[in-house]
Amino acid sequence: MSKKNSILTYINKFITLTDEEAELFSNSFKTIKIKKRQIIIQPNFVATHRYHVVKGALKAYVIGDEGQEHTVQLAIDEWWISDYNSYILQQPASMFVMAVEDSELLQISFEEEQRLKEINHKFETFFRIIAERSTAFMQRRFILNLTMSAEERYDSFMEKYPQMANRFPQYVIASYLGMSTEFLSKIRNHKVKRKE
């Protein structure tokens, strides 16, 4: 699928564009290819782009005081990723964003996104919708972390995102779910034994 078709297939889930609008929108994105372990955003530098994943897998994470990695966001095909606090407010980032697989992304700059929103209310509507969906997702995740046990969080994750299990190493999933890799292994082993 071409760059244009990829982003247009996605935006058409939310709004309908004319051919001219579709051309303008798709031309605002640039295709980039990044290698596994390549970092595209890092702390103390402003995140000047947001990224739509055409294919691949990425993670956003912070490093704690003791050098512990805390995964904040995961993204695979058709998902978006950035350090949104940095991107939206155009201030220094606090997270790393790194490719977990060789990936192909569509990037849009902060300035280009603002331009699109100014010239056409449909584009503004689209970016508002994905911002609202992202906010709702983050709130659900926050509530699950506060109200569910580690095993329940793992079950919920596997039920909603089974494809993630094959795309991310176990330590990344454990970090995302707020538990140690060892604890996640215990949960998985316990489930295997129950099936036997």
**3 state SS for 109-144:** EHHHHHHHHHHCHHHHHHHHHHHHHHHHHHHHHHHH
> In this predicted model, what pLDDT tens digit does every residue of 162-196 receive, in sequence order?
999 889 999 999 999 999 999 898 888 876 666 65
Residue with tokens 């299990």: 165
Judged against a pLDDT cut of 60, whether residue 1 lies above it is answered with no
Domain limits of the chain?
3-120
pLDDT of residue 193: 64
pLDDT of residue 190: 75
Judged against a pLDDT cut of 90, whether residue 5 lies above it is answered with no
pLDDT of residue 189: 81
pLDDT of residue 192: 66
> In this predicted model, what pLDDT tens digit does every residue of 117-132 receive, in sequence order?
999 999 999 999 999 9
Q: Which CATH architecture has domain 3-120?
A: Sandwich (2.60)
Q: Contact at 8 Å (CB) between 75 and 81?
A: yes
Percent of the chain with pLDDT over 70: 95
pTM for the full predicted model: 0.91
pLDDT of residue 165: 85
